[in-house]
């Protein structure tokens, strides 16, 4: 891999997808639809003022749900979501009542809204785009594949429409918000909760790869949503090449989670998502974006030098929803975005000291953050790591007699976020 700060390129235009049985390369330009397994559905309404996705085939969706390996609760929740979609046909700006702003980022604003025809609460993300009508139609065409995306690990999609130069995505409302917002209240997340979250994220990435033949391309805490039922779901994945191209020149902040091979314009595949996952997990577990890396003395100011003390603290916080102090650095070393991107390409990946976390967590994140993409694990193999497969080992290391199954994301969030505004919970 060529490493030259002056030669750093920001090219989102190519991707590389893995074959299930080997590392064959399949090249595409980002302006083409990324998914190949599902041909685009029809666009049900197009005009100069509005382009909207239309109704989906509910019976076909239900058949696909039956074929997934889901527990009874997951299957029931997805059936309930599909039932809500039955009552939604065309969408337009007039259908919605604004309730509250939930956040800003990625060039868009996310709001909590009420869909007036059925009183259904949704999340609506608005992104302003200066594009031609033909490009609008292509974006909507590519977004149709989201109607085929029904998984307990992917945020539900109701539809999209253009209005007054904005594209609006209408999604399932996740009442605990994104993980970057959770961290503002938590400080940093305890390791057992990070493990539970990771299981859902990896399963979501596997679903996108196996069922829709796409990669996420933007894994980060703000694109991982949670709710008070403990569900963890991915959002904002790169299903529309045209939309990615339309936004690429305006919004580069998200590239701080990109793998080195993407930043220098090389072909990439799902292992780039694995890199982004590794960065995100360190951020969740420390409360700080890990590049440039903190010094060891900065870890000492937040964590005990005794690993057993730290592991016990993680468990207590996970069980009782306690806040943990986010890591502070003595020298913030704020970088401009292009300095940061050059750092990712030119310097070794971040690492965490052994005394802060379990061996299993450290092994997992360090495996994700291999500089060479081919040295990173495949998605499926991530689920075989002890960090996700054998959490009881963590309990042995901490010398605590807890049942890992008693650690629930839902209980943690409800205790952590108790008393916050209903717009958050």
Per residue in 363-401, pLDDT tens? Answer: 999 999 999 999 999 999 999 999 998 655 555 555 555
Cis peptide before 292 (omega within 30 of 0): yes
Residue 312 included in any domain: yes
Same domain, 122 and 45: yes
Residue 125 marked ligand-binding: yes
Do 167 and 183 lie in one domain? The reply is no
Classify residue 164 as exposed, middle or buried by CB count within 10 Å of its CB (0-12, 13-18, 19+): exposed
Whether residues 148 and 226 fall in one domain? no
Same structural domain for residues 315 and 215?
A: yes
Lowest mean pLDDT among 44-48, 220-224, 386-390, 415-419: 44-48
List the CATH number of the domain containing 95: 3.30.200.20
Q: Both 132 and 250 in a single domain? A: no
- A 10 A CB-CB count for 405 gives 8
Same domain for 248 and 374: yes
Per-residue pLDDT of 129-174, as tens digits, reads 777 777 777 777 777 778 878 899 999 999 888 888 788 989 999 9
Q: Give the tokens for residue 46.
A: 């197009």
Q: Which band of pLDDT confidence, cut at 50, 70 and 90, is reported for residue 52? A: low
Domain that residue 150 falls in: 33-172
Place of tokens 């901490």: 398
Instruction: Point out the domain boundary residue: 107, 139, 172.
Output: 172
CATH number at residue 185: 1.10.510.10
Domain count, the chain: 2
Residue 34's pLDDT band (cuts 50, 70, 90): very low
**pLDDT of amino acid 85:** 86
Residue 357: alpha-carbon gap to chain centroid: 23
- Residue 130: its pLDDT value, please? 76
Asked if residue 1 is part of any domain, the answer here is no
3-state secondary structure of 124: strand
Which whole number is the average pLDDT over 54-60? 64
3-state helix, strand, coil in the chain (%, to 5): 45, 15, 45
Q: Give the pLDDT score at 163.
A: 83
Whether 18 maps to a domain, the answer reads: no
pLDDT of amino acid 15: 40
**Do residues 116 and 146 share a domain?**
yes
Q: In terms of pLDDT, which residue wins out, 331 or 380?
A: 380
Say whether pLDDT at 19 is over 50: no
Q: How far apart are CA 76 and CA 74, in angstroms?
A: 5
- The answer to whether residue 4 sits within a structural domain is no
Catalytic position from the list 95, 148, 180, 218? 218
| Predicted local confidence at residue 241, as pLDDT | 56
Tell me whether residue 19 is in a domain. no
Position 21 in a domain: no
- Mean pLDDT for the chain overall: 80
Q: Which of 148, 172, 196 is the last residue of a domain?
A: 172
Q: Are residues 218 and 343 in the same domain?
A: yes
- Separation of alpha carbons 288 and 326, rounded Å: 7
Residue 137 lies in a domain: yes
Residue ending a domain, among 151, 172, 193, is 172
Structure tokens at 12: 């989102």
**Exposed/middle/buried for residue 335 (C-beta within 10 Å: 0-12, 13-18, 19+):** middle
Is the domain of 228 the same as that of 129? no
| Same-domain pairing of 235 and 378 | yes
Distance in angstroms (rounded) separating the CA atoms of residues 126 and 326: 31
Say whether both 163 and 246 belong to one domain: no
In a domain, 323, yes or no: yes
Q: Is the pTM of this model over 0.75?
A: yes
- Taking only the tens place, the pLDDT of each residue in 173-203 is 999 999 999 999 999 999 999 999 999 999 9
Distance CA 266, CA 289 (A): 24
Q: Is 94 a catalytic residue?
A: no
Tokens read off for 157: 């999609």
**One domain for residues 94 and 190:** no
């Amino acid at each position: 891999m060529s490493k030259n700060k002056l030669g750093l390129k920001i090219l989102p235009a190519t991707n590389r997808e893995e074959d299930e049985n080997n590392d064959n390369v399949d090249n595409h330009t980002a302006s083409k639809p990324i998914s190949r397994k599902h041909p685009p559905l029809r666009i049900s309404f197009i005009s100069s003022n509005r382009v909207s996705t239309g109704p989906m085939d509910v019976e076909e969706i239900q058949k696909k749900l039956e074929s997934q390996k889901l527990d009874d609760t997951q299957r029931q929740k997805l059936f309930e979501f599909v039932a809500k979609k039955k009552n939604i046909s065309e969408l337009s700006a007039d259908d919605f009542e604004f309730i509250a702003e939930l956040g800003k980022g990625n060039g868009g604003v996310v709001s909590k809204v009420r869909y007036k025809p059925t009183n259904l609460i949704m999340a609506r993300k608005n992104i302003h785009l200066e594009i031609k009508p033909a490009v609008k139609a292509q974006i909507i065409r590519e977004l149709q594949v989201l109607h085929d995306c029904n998984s307990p690990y992917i945020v539900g999609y109701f539809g999209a429409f253009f209005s007054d130069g904005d594209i609006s995505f209408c999604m399932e409302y996740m009442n605990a918000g994104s993980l970057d917002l959770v961290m503002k209240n938590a400080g940093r997340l305890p390791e057992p909760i990070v493990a539970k979250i990771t299981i859902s994220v990896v399963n979501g990435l596997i679903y996108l790869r196996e069922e829709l033949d796409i990669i996420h391309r933007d894994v980060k805490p703000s694109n991982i949503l949670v709710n008070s039922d403990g569900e963890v779901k991915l959002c904002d994945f790169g299903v529309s090449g045209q939309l990615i191209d339309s936004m690429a020149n305006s919004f580069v902040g998200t590239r701080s989670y990109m793998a080195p091979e993407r930043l220098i314009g090389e072909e990439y595949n799902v292992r780039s998502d694995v890199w982004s996952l590794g960065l995100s997990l360190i951020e969740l577990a420390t409360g700080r974006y890990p590049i440039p890396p903190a010094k060891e003395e900065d870890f000492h100011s937040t964590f005990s030098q005794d690993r057993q003390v730290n592991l016990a603290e993680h468990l207590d916080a996970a069980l009782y929803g306690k806040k943990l102090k986010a890591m502070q650095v003595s020298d913030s070393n704020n970088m401009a975005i292009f300095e940061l991107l050059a750092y990712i390409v030119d310097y070794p990946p971040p690492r965490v000291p052994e005394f802060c976390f379990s061996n299993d967590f450290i092994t997992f994140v360090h495996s994700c953050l291999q500089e060479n993409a081919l040295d990173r694990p495949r998605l499926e193999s991530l689920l075989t790591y002890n960090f996700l497969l054998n959490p009881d080992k963590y309990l042995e290391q901490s010398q605590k007699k807890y049942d890992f199954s008693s650690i629930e994301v839902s209980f943690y969030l409800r205790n952590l976020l108790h008393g916050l505004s209903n717009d958050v919970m």
